[in-house]
Amino acid sequence: MVDKDKQQAELRAFGLYFPQYDWEQGVLREIKKDLEKIKKITNLEEKYQKAKFFWDKHNTNEIYAKNHYISGELGKLGISFNDTIAKYRQLIRELWDLQIETIRELEKQKKSTKPSTKNQSKPKRYKPKPQQENWTCQECFSEIKTGEEYWYHTTKHDNKKFCSEECFSDHYSQTCSNCFKKTLEYYPDKQYPSLVYCWDCQQEREYICWGCAKTKEGDYYAEKDSSKYCSKECYARMCGELCNYCANNVLEFYHDEENRNIIICVDCKKKGEDKKFDFDGKKHVKDIVEAMKKAMKEKSEKEQNNNKDSADDQAIERERERERANLNTIRLMTSLSLIILN
């Protein structure tokens, strides 16, 4: 049974997310607004980045709001879980689906467009009027007589002339580093420009990373359910677990020996972060919470510049930030195990 003062404090904090006068205001109104905003964006990469940003933001909000609800036993005050947290959760889920949907669209778009052609060699036939002198084909060394047609490169300006399209192709085409086919239309490797690929192989090499929605080529970090990820970070973001000590999405982790719902990453384990976790030694618990808050803050600040909220939204965000800073540290740890239970 929670005491009255504590319950009132939780109720006030909960009100920052779901206001007492109308639960529909606060985060529910915000997320609906954000969803509308994102759906209007036509640039798919931008759409993905925004969806990701707002998802992170609302996901964090939900963690805190739920913590207040449970700690304050607000259900006993007649606050409906279904009309607040559960409703919010559903909209957050919609934000997540929007990210997945956008990546699918990006992939579809990529399939229907050609990659940028940089080194394409366009042969051009040049019909000279009075040809001044006899020329030798730069490839087969046969003579191009005065007045005859010849082939030359329109963009290289190398002053080379060829007797036929075949000689032109032989001279300028490159061998695909993957299938060894000779081709005039080739695409240099972004990392190793001396390697080139034909159109088909280049299509094979290009992929859209499911973690950052960027078009990448060549090597990828991992593939899961036929989705590719460009880096460890991108893979961990979509397929990893949240470390409860540093708030990072991680791939290598342990379960706490006493409570399997608590997850600790390999790095934090090495540093002995879990050993500091001690309900009696509050100083240490506070350190962990500080580290986690800092990590979460850094994450959102990084993207804040591209995603400016309105002044009103910023003010309420700051208030929530303050409220989070005052959180009883043990309660935060309790909430962490609750997140994972769900």
**Closest CB 66 distance from Zn ion, rounded Å:** 22
Output the smallest distance, CB 76 to Zn ion, in A: 35
Taking residues 227 to 256 in sequence order and writing x for each that binds Zn ion by CB under 5 A, - otherwise, the string is: ---x---x--------x-xx----------
- Please state at what angle helix 44-71 crosses helix 311-325, rounded to 10 degrees: 40
Q: Residue 146 CB, nearest distance to Zn ion (Å)?
A: 16
265 near Zn ion (CB under 5 A): yes
Rank residues 206 and 309 by Cβ distance to Zn ion and give the closer one.
206
Taking CB under 5 A as the rule, does residue 330 contact Zn ion?
no
Asked if 74 interacts with Zn ion (CB under 5 A), we say: no
Note whether 201 binds Zn ion by CB under 5 A: yes
- Residue 325 is a binding residue for Zn ion (CB under 5 A): no
Answer for which of 38, 268, 285, 289 binds Zn ion (CB under 5 A) is 268
If one counts every other C-beta atom within 10 angstroms of the C-beta of residue 257, the result is: 8
Residues 6+ positions from 113 with CB-CB distance below 8 Å: none
Min separation Cβ 268 and Zn ion, Å:
3
Residue 208 engages Zn ion in binding (rule: CB under 5 A): no
Nearer to Zn ion, 61 or 164 (CB): 164
List C-alpha distances in Å: 276 to 282, 327, 333: 9, 19, 13
Q: Please say which residue, 25 or 146, places its beta carbon nearer to Zn ion.
A: 146
Our finding on whether 103 is near Zn ion (CB under 5 A) is: no
Instruction: Give the tokens for residue 149.
Output: 């047609």
Q: How far is the CB of 216 from Zn ion (least distance, A)?
A: 7
Closer Cβ to Zn ion, 167 or 285, answer by number: 167
Q: Is 212 in the site for Zn ion (CB under 5 A)?
A: yes
The footprint of Zn ion on residues 143-172 (CB under 5 A) is 163, 167
Q: Using CB under 5 A, list all residues that contact Zn ion.
A: 137, 139-140, 163, 167, 176, 178-179, 198, 201, 209, 211-212, 230, 234, 243, 245-246, 265, 268
